């Protein structure tokens, strides 16, 4: 299965080219919250999507009836289809699927309607509340717009959502259920209740006086993640289908690992056993030797527990080869996009494969001694990469890993 189209909505740029350029330059997408008044909140910083007009993708009336998470999903899907040069009118709609996840769904809509219910009563609830709020609606909305009548799925596995969704799409295409699947994730959780909830858990960085340096994966001074938002969608195709239409191929999706820690509702298993198993599964499915892995886009949240666990898991699996593997974290620039994180990070790996650019991990001043891995620092590394892993680990102990490689024809 190959990737033939890319669509991105992110805190550092909208559209593939703008996103890729920003990654290479180490652009920081973190700043003070502007989507609502956060002056009284313990955390006042986030990585917001900027310069985004839903009217570019949806009619005004349609945009008013849909949540911001749907706006992002629609935009990223349209970009991916355009980038792939795929003419959906020429496809059998029953052979086109949509696998698009969201960890929080329409959390902004939920907040607004619950507030209206409490303050003004049940008659003030919007008739669009439920379809605007439920997590499967980005997938359903995109399918309706694209007349995609093939398999459809919305994974909801917290921070591992997009990675699981893309991984399950691999199986659907391998089983022969579809020729094309739009796959990825979308999230729009920078809302009063979203920020307050994560802040109450003490999961977020409270570096309110220095937002640009708040997201610092693997750094000894990290103090939590920065909430992000956005969407990423990939056009996944069965290889022969892509070749028949002379599609541009970014890379091959060749491996997927899916495990559970069964340890704690939020904390990862500190020994990293579940993460190790997921990486092993992805490598085995790809048919690689572990020593062939050259790059890992880490989950790298900038939280003390996650970064330490992930680094130990990488060292446990790869042993001495760990020192030869480049590791970086996209979250250092875009924050933690929750259900969209995995696809944004996989797109960053596509850049590494296509352009020979491993983007930096900005804000890494001094690596934590508890993270014994080869993390790319504040400057990009220019190197030909052909095999890479993308790691994502979600609350509840969900672990998902994807393996991609260069397409050699």
Contacts of 25 (CB under 8 A, 6+ apart): none
Helix, strand, or coil (residue 333): helix
d(CA 299, CA 308): 11
> CA 206 from chain center: how many Å?
23
The terminus-to-terminus CA distance of the chain in angstroms comes to 12
Q: With CA atoms as reference, report the closest residue to 31 among 213, 194, 153.
A: 213
Q: With CA atoms as reference, report the closest residue to 100 among 233, 259, 251, 235.
A: 233
Q: Please, are residues 332 and 300 in contact by the beta-carbon 8 Å criterion?
A: yes
For the chain, count helices (H), then strands (E).
13, 15
Q: Please, are residues 332 and 226 in contact by the beta-carbon 8 Å criterion?
A: no
C-alpha distance from residue 13 to each of 4, 285, 309, 315 (Å): 20, 33, 30, 33
- The answer to whether residue 159 is catalytic is yes
Q: How many other β-carbons are positioned within 10 Å of the β-carbon of residue 259? A: 20
C-alpha distance from residue 198 to each of 165, 194, 202, 266 (Å): 23, 6, 7, 11
d(CA 258, CA 375): 24
d(CA 86, CA 168): 22
146, 154, 159, 371: the catalytic one is 159
Please identify every residue annotated as catalytic: 159
């Amino acid at each position: 299965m190959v990737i033939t189209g890319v669509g991105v909505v992110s805190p550092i740029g909208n559209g593939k080219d703008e996103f890729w350029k920003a990654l290479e330059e180490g652009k920081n997408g973190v700043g003070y919250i502007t989507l609502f008044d956060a002056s009284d909140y313990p955390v006042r910083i986030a990585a917001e999507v900027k310069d985004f007009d839903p009217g570019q993708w949806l009619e005004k009336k349609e945009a008013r009836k849909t949540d911001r998470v749907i706006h992002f999903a629609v935009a990223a899907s349209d970009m991916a289809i355009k980038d792939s040069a795929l003419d959906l009118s020429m496809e059998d709609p029953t052979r086109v699927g949509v696998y698009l996840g969201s960890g929080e769904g329409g959390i902004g809509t939920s907040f607004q309607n619950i507030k209206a219910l409490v303050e003004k009563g049940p008659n003030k609830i919007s008739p669009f509340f439920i379809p605007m709020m439920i997590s499967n609606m980005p997938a359903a909305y995109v399918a309706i717009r694209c007349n995609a009548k093939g398999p459809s799925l919305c994974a909801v596995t917290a921070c591992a959502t997009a990675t699981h969704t893309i991984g399950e799409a691999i199986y659907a295409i391998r089983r022969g259920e579809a020729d094309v699947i739009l796959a990825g994730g979308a999230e729009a959780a920078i809302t009063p209740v979203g920020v307050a909830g994560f802040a109450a858990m003490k999961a977020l960085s409270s570096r309110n006086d220095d937002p640009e340096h708040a997201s610092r994966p693997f750094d000894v001074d990290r103090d939590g993640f920065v909430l992000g938002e956005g969407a990423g969608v990939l056009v996944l195709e069965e290889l022969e289908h892509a070749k028949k239409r002379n599609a541009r191929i970014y890379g091959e999706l060749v491996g997927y690992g899916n495990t559970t820690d069964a340890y704690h509702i939020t904390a990862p298993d500190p020994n990293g056993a579940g993460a190790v198993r997921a990486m092993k599964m992805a490598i085995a499915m790809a048919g690689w030797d572990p020593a062939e892995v050259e790059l890992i886009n880490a989950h790298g949240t900038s939280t003390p527990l996650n970064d330490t666990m992930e680094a130990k898991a990488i060292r446990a699996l790869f042993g001495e080869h760990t020192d030869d593997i480049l590791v970086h974290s996209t979250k250092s620039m875009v924050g933690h996009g929750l259900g969209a994180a995995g696809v944004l990070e996989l797109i960053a790996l596509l850049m590494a494969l296509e352009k020979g650019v491993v983007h930096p991990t900005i804000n890494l001043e001094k690596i934590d001694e508890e993270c014994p891995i080869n993390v790319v620092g504040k400057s990009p590394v220019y190197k030909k990469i052909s095999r890479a892993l993308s790691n994502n680990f979600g609350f509840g102990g969900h672990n998902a890993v994807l393996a991609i490689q260069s397409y050699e024809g």
